[in-house]
Amino acid sequence: MNPAEPSGKALNAVRLAHLIVSSRLGEGGIAVDATAGNGYDTVFLARLVGSSGRVYAVDIQPVAIESTRARLEIETLSDRVRLRTGGHENLRALLPEVPDGCAEVVMFNLGYLPGSDKTFITRTETTLSALEEALRLLADSGVLTVVCYPGHAGGSSEAGRVCEWANGLPSDRFAVTICRTANGPEHSPFLTVVEKR
Ligand SMILES: C[S@@+](CC[C@H](N)C(=O)[O-])C[C@H]1O[C@@H](n2cnc3c(N)ncnc32)[C@H](O)[C@@H]1O
């Protein structure tokens, strides 16, 4: 199963992220997908920003960028998306055309690319650096979403550190919400949302 395309209709971390993002992003918007993977989130963002908007999608794996490129071509959405291969810990350097404070949305979907090399898993230290970079890019009233996967090796500690990071953000500048299943398995994916006030 692709984490960005869950089966069934129940709410889950990915679906909640999409619901929140779709309430904040519209025609002409600027959005960043910091973990492009197989391109599902990139396509979702590209539809929301319309032909006058722009999506920037980053992944450390060339195979992920090629997968995203192919999906965008099938959906005829390539024109409105710029793809970058590199680590999201260097997000602002990878996206020199996005000034600080200009992105309405930045999305992270942590973990590994389904069906690919699991050594390219997101890692705590680079994830935390990338989240700091993302906050700089975020516009006022912009929203940052982070889907965390505590169920795989290393995922639990990364997810815990993401929560600690978010909990430590100053409440006069950022509103933080963490959404997790109340009656599902202990290590279910969960969503962290940071809104810039
Ligand atoms: C769960 S997948 C993303 C799924 C994707 N959003 C989608 O819709 O298909 C996580 C992705 O993060 C990427 N990744 C891991 N470390 C990274 C890093 N330091 N910088 C950028 N991407 C990274 C992996 O290569 C993988 O493609």
139 alpha carbon to ligand 1 midpoint, in Å? 23
> Does any domain span residue 4?
no
pLDDT value at 115 more than 90: no
Tell me the pLDDT band of 119, cut-offs 50, 70 and 90: confident
Which residue out of 40, 59, 147 has the highest number of ligand 1 atoms within 8 Å of its CB and is therefore the one to mutate? 59
169 contacts 128 by C-beta, under 8 angstroms: no
> Does any domain span residue 102?
yes
DSSP codes, 98-131: S-TT-EEEEEEE-S--TTS-GGG---HHHHHHHH
**Is 44 touching ligand 1 by the criterion CB < 6 Å?**
no
Strands (E), the chain: 30-33, 54-59, 81-85, 103-109, 138-148, 174-179, 190-196
> Does any domain span residue 1?
no
167 alpha carbon to ligand 1 midpoint, in Å? 23
For 138-181, write each residue's pLDDT tens digit: 999 999 999 999 998 889 999 999 999 999 999 999 999 999 99
Tell me the pLDDT band of 188, cut-offs 50, 70 and 90: very high
**Is 189 touching ligand 1 by the criterion CB < 6 Å?**
no
**Is 41 touching ligand 1 by the criterion CB < 6 Å?**
yes
* pLDDT given at position 7: 57
What integer best gives the mean pLDDT of the chain?
95
Residue nearest to atom 15 of ligand 1 (CA): 122
Instruction: Name the strands in the sheet holding 81-85, side by side, starting at the edge strand that comes first in the sequence.
Output: 81-85, 54-59, 30-33, 103-109, 138-148, 190-196, 174-179
In a 3-state reduction of DSSP, which class is residue 38?
A: coil
155 alpha carbon to ligand 1 midpoint, in Å? 13
pLDDT value at 2 more than 50: no
* pLDDT given at position 193: 98
Closest CA to 181 of 173, 172, 190: 190
Which residue out of 48, 120, 124, 191 has the highest number of ligand 1 atoms within 8 Å of its CB and is therefore the one to mutate? 120
> Does any domain span residue 2?
no
The CA distances from residue 11 to 6, 16, 191, in Å, are 9, 6, 11
61: its two tokens: 């794996």
For 172-186, write each residue's pLDDT tens digit: 999 999 999 999 899
pLDDT value at 45 more than 60: yes
117 alpha carbon to ligand 1 midpoint, in Å? 11
Looking at the structure of the chain, the number of domains it has is 1
> Does any domain span residue 96?
yes
Mean pLDDT, range 114-140, rounded to an integer? 93
Instruction: Show the domain range for 192.
Output: 13-196
> Does any domain span residue 162?
yes
Mean pLDDT, range 118-138, rounded to an integer? 95
**Is 158 touching ligand 1 by the criterion CB < 6 Å?**
no
Mean pLDDT, range 94-120, rounded to an integer? 93
> Does any domain span residue 189?
yes
Instruction: Read off the CATH number of the domain in which 37 is found.
Output: 3.40.50.150
> Does any domain span residue 20?
yes
Phi, psi of 139 (to 5 degrees): -75, 165
pLDDT value at 116 more than 90: no
